[in-house]
Amino acid sequence: MQHANLSHAVIDHVHLYGTEFLNIVLPQEGDGNFNPDGQYKPIIFRNSNLSNMEIIDCDISGLKINGILIEELLRDKEGGRQ
């Protein structure tokens, strides 16, 4: 599948094992759902089993897990290395 727009979708009870999401982007200028101020509703996984999930080469700015900002957590971990 290519060029799927799942904006504002709520999908309940889905099996995603073996699923890959590639090149996920925010709307670009000219897209019908583009917002010039760049403010979009967050993407949320709630009550989900994300074991064995990998995030590879992704922009994680603003990514939170249970309220913890992951980029700060990683920065703190890197700062603690000698």
Per-residue confidence (pLDDT) for residue 32, from 0 to 100? 86
What is the three-class DSSP state of 6? coil
Q: Following CA atoms 19, 44, 65, 24 in sequence, which dihedral angle do they give, to the nearest 10 degrees? A: 50
Measured in residues, the chain has a length of 82
Q: For all residues of the chain together, what is the average pLDDT?
A: 90
Per-residue confidence (pLDDT) for residue 81, from 0 to 100? 66
Q: What is the pTM of this model?
A: 0.72
> How do residues 33-50 score in pLDDT, each as one tens digit?
899 998 999 999 999 999
**Which structure tokens are listed for 21?**
């999401």
- Give the sign of the dihedral formed by CA 62, CA 64, CA 69, CA 72: negative
